[in-house]
């Protein structure tokens, strides 16, 4: 059992989940708030306490722990991931022909939301008012497809996929049309939709689509289609403290109040004793509060500076690249204002 924390330490380092509310929510470790603590900013102290652990990583998802940082900064990284890391997405749709059932504007919106595999770091933002686009700021895609009857379909068939050809339009039908030197520069990049199996429209014989699209660089703040993540979130590490030994039937009931694996019952000299095994698995449910005889035996809390980040990419960039880019965006913001301060001083 973890030793109970000193009261001031608890206020500073834990968020307490009590029955009727959440306590100690805000960061309070600022200079002057606590006697006996030096809370002024200290980079060395920060570097000593700070650590990152990668828990799980594949091409699309990343889970890692960021420990020893304040919510203000961790939240900045999360917000930047959602809204300020740039990607390429369809912005201009030139519809030369659309005889399908789906309206032009709906189709254009659907096309915009398709994730486009292209490294945004290799492109520039398009200037405001620029309608044409050049090889450094635009990717051109074409969707040209016509539905026809399948001459080889059996007479009495009623299955559309047998009767018609091209009656389902998928994102894989969006073909990249290189502009200028793009064919050489991005020869290996394989530019196009990340997923080929996104259904865009359904056609019937005689209907056709003839569309040219311009993809530009943008950020999620402007439109969600530019957001590089499916989700980016964090949660604080839960902490469960048993205030006194829990034995027998109570221990079994206590175990069932939490997610599987959080609490185990161990045999301790013939007695069945509950033990907190893995707080990380807890979902912070309030089930324990329904048991009047148990609820005062535990303290539920969260570690204020332990962030469990989960980042899911849309597949355009690897999730670890997105996190790196997000941190760089925050650095760039700081540098922008530092530069501004310096130039103001010169005047």
267, burial (CB in 10 Å: exposed 0-12, middle 13-18, buried 19+): exposed
Tokens of 28: 């309070």
- 189 is a site residue for other proteins (CB under 8 A): no
Which is nearer to other proteins, 84 or 282 (by Cβ)?
A: 84
Q: Which of residues 2-31 bind other proteins (CB under 8 A)?
A: 27, 30-31
224 forms part of the interface with other proteins (CB under 8 A) = no
Q: Is 335 in the site for other proteins (CB under 8 A)?
A: yes
**Is the CB of 39 or the CB of 124 nearer to other proteins?**
39
Burial of 127 per CB tally in 10 Å (0-12, 13-18, 19+): exposed
Is 36 a binder of other proteins (CB under 8 A)?
A: no
Q: CB of 337: closest distance to other proteins in angstroms?
A: 6
Shortest Cβ 69–other proteins spacing (Å): 7
DSSP string covering 262-324 = TEEEEEETTEEEEEE--GGG----SGGGG-TTTTTTEEEEEEEEEEEEEEEE-SSS-HHHHHH
Q: Shortest approach of other proteins to residue 163 CB, angstroms?
A: 47
**Shortest Cβ 47–other proteins spacing (Å):** 6
Q: How far is the CB of 11 from other proteins (least distance, A)?
A: 17
Query: Is residue 144 involved in binding other proteins (CB under 8 A)?
Result: no
Choosing from 152, 341, 346, 347, the residue that interacts with other proteins (CB under 8 A) is 341
Which of 68, 75, 64 has the alpha carbon at shortest distance from 44? 68
Q: Quick check: 327 binds other proteins (CB under 8 A)?
A: yes
Give the shortest CB-182-to-other proteins separation in angstroms: 29
The answer to the question of residue 130 lying near other proteins (CB under 8 A) is: no
Q: Is the dihedral of CA 156, 162, 165, 169 positive or negative?
A: positive
DSSP 209-268: EEEEEEEEEE-TTT-GGG--EEEEEEEEEEEEEESS--BHHHHHHHHHHS-TTTEEEEEE
Are the beta carbons of 67 and 305 closer than 8 angstroms? yes
Which residues from 46-85 bind other proteins, rule CB under 8 A?
Answer: 46-47, 50-54, 57, 64, 66, 69-70, 72-73, 75-77, 79-80, 83-84
Contact positions with other proteins (CB under 8 A) in 82-111: 83-84
Q: Tell me the CA distances in angstroms from 289 to 152, 297, 298, one per residue in order.
A: 67, 10, 10
Q: Which parts of this chain interact with other proteins (CB under 8 A)?
A: 27, 30-32, 39-41, 43, 46-47, 50-54, 57, 64, 66, 69-70, 72-73, 75-77, 79-80, 83-84, 320, 323-324, 327-328, 330-331, 333-338, 340-341, 344-345
């Amino acid at each position: 059992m973890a030793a109970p924390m000193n009261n001031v330490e608890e206020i500073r380092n834990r968020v307490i989940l009590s029955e009727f509310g959440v306590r100690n929510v805000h960061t309070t470790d600022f200079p002057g708030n606590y006697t006996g603590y030096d809370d002024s900013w200290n980079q060395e102290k920060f570097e000593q306490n700070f650590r990152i652990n990668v828990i799980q990583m594949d091409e699309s998802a990343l889970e890692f722990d960021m420990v020893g940082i304040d919510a203000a900064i961790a939240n900045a990284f999360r917000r930047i991931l959602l809204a300020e890391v740039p990607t390429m997405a369809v912005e201009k749709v030139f519809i030369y022909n659309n005889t399908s059932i789906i309206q032009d504007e709906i189709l254009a919106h659907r096309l915009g939301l398709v994730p486009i595999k292209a490294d945004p770091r290799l492109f520039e933002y398009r200037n405001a008012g620029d309608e044409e686009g050049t090889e450094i700021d635009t990717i051109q895609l074409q969707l040209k497809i016509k539905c026809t009857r399948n001459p080889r379909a059996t007479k009495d068939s009623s299955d559309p996929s047998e009767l018609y050809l091209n009656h389902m339009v998928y994102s894989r039908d969006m073909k990249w049309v290189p502009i200028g030197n793009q064919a050489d520069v991005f020869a290996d990049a394989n530019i196009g939709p990340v997923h080929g199996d996104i259904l865009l429209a359904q056609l019937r014989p005689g209907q056709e689509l003839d569309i040219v699209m311009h993809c530009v660089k943008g950020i999620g703040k402007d439109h969600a289609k530019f957001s590089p993540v499916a989700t980016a979130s964090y949660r604080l590490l839960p902490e469960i403290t048993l205030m006194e030994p829990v034995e027998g039937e109570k221990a079994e009931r206590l175990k069932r109040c939490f997610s599987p694996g959080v609490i185990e019952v161990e045999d301790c000299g013939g007695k069945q004793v509950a033990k907190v095994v893995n707080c990380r698995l807890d979902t912070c449910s309030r089930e324990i509060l329904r048991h009047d005889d148990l609820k005062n035996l535990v303290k539920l809390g969260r570690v204020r500076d332990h962030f469990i980040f989960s980042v899911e990419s849309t597949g355009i960039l690897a999730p670890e690249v997105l996190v790196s880019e997000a941190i760089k965006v925050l650095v760039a913001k700081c540098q922008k204002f530092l530069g501004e301060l310096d130039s103001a001083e010169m005047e």
